[in-house]
Each structure stands twice: as C-alpha cells, then as structure tokens.
Chains A and B, each alone.
Chain A
C-alpha cells in the first residue's frame, strides 16, 4: 500500500471510530428514558423518585440544582451519581425535563442566610421532623413504587444529604418553605403561621447539617462471592446447608441443579446444586426499603463438586449492596452477609 493510500485509509478509519464522539447533539428524551424514567416515570410523574413534572417542583428549582443533582446523586439514598454522563448529555436531560413545564423557573443567588440555628432547630423538630426525619435523614421507603399501599405520593427528601445540600442554595430552601409544594404534603410555612425570620432560622438549621456529614463506608475491597471448601460429600454438604438455613429461621423453597431448565430433563449436572431459601419477614422488610432488592432474591447458596473438591458458594450481599446506593439496604445486606457466612461456615464444618 502506498503512503498516500495508507493516510487516506487511516483518516477514514479515524473518522469512523471517532464519529460517535463528533455526533450531533445528545438526545435528551432518549437519555432521560434510559437513565431516569425507570425511577422518575416516563412522563416525569414519579414513582421511585421525585415527580419531576410537578409544576411547583419545576418552577421551584434551578437548572443548576437539577444538573448538580444528576451529577452528585444522593449518596446513601436511591438516586445514583451519574458521573459517566458528559456535560452536554446532562444539559440535554435537563432541557428535556424542562419541556414538561415551559416557563422560567425561579433564579436564586447563592447568598447565605444567617438565621438563628438553635431556634431553627426547635422549629424544625416541631414542623419538619415528622416527614424529613429528626436529623434530616428523609422519609423511609421509595415513593409510590411497588404499588403496595403507601402513605405518600413522594418520599420526603433527605435534607441532610450531601448531594442535596450541595445542589440547593439557601434561597431555594427558603422559597420552598415559604410557598410549600403543591401536589405534595409540603405546606407553606407562612400559611402555617411562621414568620420569614423563623423560616430563615429553619434554613440555617438545615444548612448546619453540612457540619455533620459522615463519609459513607467504602466497600472497595469486598469480594463478590463467599466461598468455602467442604470436607464432606456433596450430598452431606447440601443437607448441612438446608439444616443451617432452617436453623437461621429460613424456609427452604427449592433445590435445583445449576443448569436445570436449560438442558433437557434428566440431563442436568447433578454435581451442582442450588439451594434457595427465604425468610418472608426479612423479605418484606427488604422490599419496603427498596423494591429493587429482587436482584438478591431468593436467597441462594450453591454446593458443587469440582476437581474432587466440594465447594460452597454464595454471592456476597455486601458486594451487591454497592449497586443500590441505599444505606438502609446496606445495613440489611450486612445482616444477610452474616447469615450467609454462618450458613456456609456451619455447612462446611
């Protein structure tokens, strides 16, 4: 190939490979559908997440608040931080969200409000804590999701969340307190009888949550699986797993070969056994925290014979919990990790 032909080929290939990077403007609707609609609803009417299409929400928050919320998420809550999105993609999502309520949202300066924190705390405990939590930790659960009876159309935001505090300027918080949010249980504090000065004090108390932000624990070094070798035969090990699970108040719901359902009946590999078990009380608690917990379900330990050894394996619930960005679920996963570890240890003793 001549040098000129090579250069021509190279130039063409660079164009082909880099074309996605040079492509037209990102499609906000498409990006919203892929990244946001599962929680916030296809038309922004909420579900797991905040109903973004609510007019009072639309006019009460700035574009900067939306962009920062997408970027930072709500650490420890359900909303993840979308760090992988490019700036123009975030802008496109915000533009699309804004298309539901055309008009100009409020604009806020970053002026700090210097209210009386101690007085704000008293007012907060009296008027806000019942929904937002005594320490600003927010409401429990996940909005209207999983259409079991829920008290609220929206879960009260966690005001002590670093993602919220970094996204919301003081004046935005003040405006919400003064006007309330129609379509949600958030009422106007002016109508409730508080003065503007009182509201400033509450804003300063909410801002003071920034001083108590605790870094969330990192699970960086966790292994994805829990695995032990059993000194017993496969049959005995399976029996021991069942016994240990029952001893931990779990019910055995099914025993199945790993490739069962994928091969013809009778041709399964009988040296790979999955034992499924469940504690319905624990399951109910988990679903109330986050219905997406299904990814852990049902509880399972696998016993298998490989290269003359009997191995007992389970997925590590703590490793999996990293996917959920939900502190409450992480606590439950710690409980599950302890149960799995105990069962695996007992059955390989």
Chain B
C-alpha cells in the first residue's frame, strides 16, 4: 500500500478521534469566584485573545429584586478570527464572540462553555479549523483553572 495513503488514513483517524464534539465543556475550580474570575481573564489573554466584555448577570438580577450569587459571562475572541467569520462564515455570527459562563458554587467556582465543534461543518474546513483551535484553547483554560488553588 502507498505509504502516503497509510499516513493520511492514520492522520485522519487521529484527527477525527481528537475532535469529537463534547457538547458542554465544564470545569470546577477550588478558587473562589473573584480569584477564578481574575485567573480566567488572565488565562484568556495569555493565549492571545482579547476579553471583549464581561456581562454581570448577577447585578441585573439583584437590581430586579432576585436573590442570586455571583454570575458573569466572559466574551472573548481575536479581531482577525471574528473578521474572518463575519466575512466568510456568517452562519457563525450569532455565536461570536465566544463565551464562558462563570459562577459561584459555594466555595468553588464553575466554568462552562459550549464545545465550538458543535458547529463544525464539513463544508467549511477553514471555519472548522478556528472552531477546533477554540475548543482546544478552552480546554486548556479549563485545565489551568482546575489546577489553580
């Protein structure tokens, strides 16, 4: 058999195995909310993303008279990737900038994000490459937060 064919098959196999969509990506960190919030933003920036906005869900709820704990949504992205998506892959526009929900759970903090590969589409391999990069990076953010004490 042609060596290149075998190599391509093996590569494809390992690639597909590594990008199986997980649905939700979640992590729990032992850090309390303020520390975890800082660590998350610092981690996102260390991977060369910008934090475009932090939505303070808890503040709106409290102002409206509802009891709640600390709850924020952190939006992030890069100028280049968002520009590419809005130009060539508008079906992804409603989902960007990507976000991570972060909220207090007693003394711990929980983080949650959708797996970007949920939106992968064989018709758009270049977009899938960006989604895969986000998935891997979010996985790394979460690992860093899991290990933070």
Contacts and interface: CB of A to CB of B under 8 A. Distances in A.
Interface of A: 6, 9-10, 13-14, 17-18, 20, 33, 37-39, 41-42, 47-48, 80, 84, 144-149, 224-225, 227, 253, 256, 258-263, 269, 272, 276, 278, 280-281, 283-284, 287, 291-292, 294-295, 297-298, 300, 302, 304, 306, 311, 313-315, 320, 322-324
B61 A292 contact: no
B101 A80 contact: no
A320 B114 contact: yes
Contacts of A304: 86, 90, 93
A259 B114 contact: no
Interface string B89-105: 01101111101011111
Interface in B57-96: 57, 60-61, 64, 66-69, 71, 73, 75, 77-79, 82-83, 86, 90-91, 93-96
Is chain B's binding surface mostly helix, strand, loop or mixed? mixed
B60 A262 contact: no
Interface string B19-53: 01011101110100000000000000000001111
Counting chain B residues whose Cβ lies within 8 A of the other chain, the interface size class is 35 or more
B94 A42 contact: no
B68 A323 contact: no
Is chain A's binding surface mostly helix, strand, loop or mixed? mixed
Given A38-B27, A145-B105, A313-B93, A33 B52 contact: no
Nearest to A1: B3
Of A33, A146, A298, which is in contact with the most chain B CB atoms at under 10 Å from its CB? A146
A302 B68 contact: no
A38 B115 CA distance: 15
Nearest 5 A/B pairs, CB to CB: A294-B101, A261-B52, A38-B26, A280-B64, A17-B10
A294 B6 contact: no
B82 A258 contact: yes
A148 B67 contact: yes
B57 to A, nearest CB: 6
Contacts of B14: 17, 20
B94 A297 contact: no
B29 to A, nearest CB: 9
A224 B90 CA distance: 12
B82 A47 contact: no
B69 to A, nearest CB: 5
Given A17-B14, A33-B146, A38-B26, A323 B114 contact: yes
A183 B50 CA distance: 45
B96 A258 contact: yes
Contacts of B30: 42
Contacts of A80: 23-24
